[in-house]
Amino acid sequence: MGKTLFDKIWDAHVVTAVDGGMEVLYIDRHFIHEVTSPQAFSGLKKRGIGVSRIDKTIATADHNVPTKNQHLPIQEELSRYQVQKLVENCEEFGVELYGLGHPYQGIVHVIGPELGITKPGMTIVCGDSHTSTHGAFGCIAFGIGTSQVEQVLATQCLLQKKPKKMRINIEGELQAGVLSKDIILYIISKLSASGGTGYFVEYAGSAIRSLSMEARMTICNMSIEMGARGGMIAPDEKTFEYVKGKEYAPKGKDFDKAVAHWKTLFSDDDAVFDQEFTFPAEDIEPMLTYGTNPGMGIKISQTIPSESGKSFQKSLNYMGFESGESMLGKPINYVFIGSCTNSRIEDLRIVADYVKGKKKADHVNVMVVPGSKQVEKQAIKEGLDKIFAAAGFDFREPGCSACLGMNEDKVPKGEYCVSTSNRNFEGRQGPGARTILASPLMAAATAIEGKIIDFRSQISQN
Amino acid sequence: MDKFTTIHSSAVPMPIEDVDTDQIIPARFLKATTRDGFGDNLFRDWRFHQDDSPKSGFVLNNPIYSGQILVAGKNFGCGSSREHAAWAIHDYGFKVVVSSFFADIFKGNALNNGILPVVVNEEFLNEIFQAIEANPNTAFNVDLEKQTFTILETGKSVSFEIDPYKKMCLINGYDDIDYLISIKDQISAFEQQQLAF
Ligand code: SF4
């Protein structure tokens, strides 16, 4: 029987098996950040041990950093202390840190790929559930808790139970105006917020193959939103081309050798998945969420469904929506473009392309937060910052920002925010904030119109 | 980690589905650099108004419910990997969380912090909710050794699954690092034959 892409990588990383079915998995790269690492470093200190492989550990500050005036000391005391703690821990343990002020600083899942740290065939973990993003390169990448961060720091290994395998195929051609964010919101709306629990997902099919690396990252990023530990896409020429020449990519002959290995990373024809789904690409439209988990999504042409049950009603009450309503025409006061889902240069280009020569509606607050210093620099180089400024958008410095509302970038109570981030949980963007997840194109259109529109008529005219 | 054997306690009912980690502990309370004190902010925005006064309708503010067991609707703990969610639950005083379905990362985090996640089927979950509704003092017994969860009043008992290695860790208060450190030589040997990236 053939092997799946997942099996090939997993099996190559098993150090040993433990009685009862757990396995010791070797980890190739470990990303850490300020929020989920301090307690892990304290644990190492208590045990009197160091970091096992500093050459495989990379740190950045992203979750809890301001997105304005990053050159000044952080105003808020607890945040300043937490970021400072990361600096101290990295110094003490010898871990490379791309902290505030560093030209490589940024959201951990944006900087890994753009620096060429993320490569096909690797096992990658981070104390953050969206580590699944890196799966776009054909890696096994998943989020872990702080106790596990400590395990990996201490031993470069993790005790894991091998998950089940699922394949999701998207076949055919995407409609105009449909982005990869819509594909993943569509999939989650079909499978629910728990439909992938216990599984590792491989995305395949002609529509997936047609996507850029950045668009693939958006899809893998949100695998966790259906409960899956991670998602992955088999590497291909686009992947190799993307990695080539990046700072930490292998060079010259080493690169050729690496590519020869990477070309073996695909699911064999006779590989068996525990579950498999196929959806036609033509069925996907620009998507919106109407509720308080990412599975509560509809196509722009649909109306909010009706479901029995306390949890569903609680969710609609929180959002201030009713079953049977259309989302079209809903006035929106906040738009957030950013997060590890949609803050890469390609996302900012899509937004800039749409808003060029336009101005935002007066009542809308629009934040554009690049995923990294490098994205910010590139955007400025291409003049995107000027397009944003002319449109009245607030182009800020890199960080997680309003994705999780840990710093001061929050959405006020009761306000709707059309957001390119990945979670619409109650209060995610600030206490009482109402998040509507959407693609960067939908976010851009909402910013200009001040309400939710079906922008497809506009783009087909272009 | 605390050792876990049996728990005999009443339970707190939370018949809500898809309780995510942002509800268990909102991000703005993740600024601490130690593991302590998160219990005060457990379910912060469901439990307190913005002026910090308690919301009377929320179950943790209702004195008739108490105990070391939290019973919740399906897909408990979905969302972020923040272990702070498990720390908050533990710090508040819960030792067991019962649901028909747990999110993967939360389940792992719970086990790594001496909290036992007990999975029961939907039907039995409803029986538990009904038993608590009829009598908030209903006592339950959780026996990790025998892997049973029992409603003491009716005597109805179900068995639950747990990975044998994780069970051993909970019972003895061991954590994974102790084990991984013990096989360090094996890990080094594995590293030698790894492909260079
Ligand atoms: S941008 Fe949001 S989802 Fe991504 S790592 Fe930061 S907080 Fe997590």
Render pLDDT for B55-98 as a digit per residue (tens, 0 to 9).
999 999 999 999 999 999 999 999 999 999 999 999 999 999 99
Q: Tens digit of pLDDT for each residue in A16-66?
A: 998 778 999 999 999 999 999 999 999 999 999 999 999 999 999 999 999
Element (H, E) at A347: helix A345-355
Q: Is B171 on the interface with A (CB under 8 A)?
A: no
Q: Tens digit of pLDDT for each residue in A309-326?
A: 889 999 999 999 999 999
- Identify the pLDDT of residue A126: 98
Tokens linked to B110: 């719970």
Contact assignment for B195 to A78 by CB distance below 8 Å: no
Cα dihedral across residues A332, A432, A430, A291: positive or negative: negative
CA atoms within 13 A on the CB side of A163: 25
The model's confidence at residue A293, banded by pLDDT at 50, 70 and 90, is very high
Sheet hosting strand A394-395, strand order edge to edge = A394-395, A365-368, A334-337, A416-419, A434-437
Chain B residues touching A127 at Cβ < 8 A? 81, 83
- For residue A151, the chain B residue with the least C-alpha distance is B177
Q: What contacts A446, CB < 8 A, 6 or more positions away?
A: A332, A335, A364, A418, A438, A452, A453
Q: A156 CA distance to ligand 1 centroid (A)?
A: 24
Q: Tens digit of pLDDT for each residue in A177-230?
A: 999 999 999 999 999 999 999 999 999 999 999 999 999 999 999 999 999 999
Chain A residues touching B81 at Cβ < 8 A? 36, 127-129, 131, 143-145
Contact assignment for B165 to A20 by CB distance below 8 Å: yes
Tokens linked to A316: 């609609």
- For residue A64, the chain B residue with the least C-alpha distance is B31
The model's confidence at residue B196, banded by pLDDT at 50, 70 and 90, is low
Q: Which residues line ligand 1 (CB under 6 A)?
A: A 62-63, 107, 109, 128, 130, 339-340, 400, 403-404, 421-422
Rounded to the nearest integer, the mean pLDDT of chain A is: 96
ipTM entry:
0.93
Give the number of other Cβ atoms within 10 Å of residue B53's Cβ: 9
Contact assignment for A15 to B34 by CB distance below 8 Å: no
Q: Tens digit of pLDDT for each residue in A240-250?
A: 999 999 999 99
Pick from B18, B22, B103: which is nearest to A427 by CB?
A: B22
Q: Is B185 on the interface with A (CB under 8 A)?
A: no
- For residue B190, the chain A residue with the least C-alpha distance is A15
The pTM assigned to this predicted structure is 0.96
Q: What share of chain A is helix, strand, coil (3-state, %, to 5)?
A: 35, 20, 45
Q: Is B18 on the interface with A (CB under 8 A)?
A: yes
Chain A residues touching B113 at Cβ < 8 A? 147
Chain B residues touching A43 at Cβ < 8 A? 177
Q: CA A88 from chain center: how many Å?
A: 27
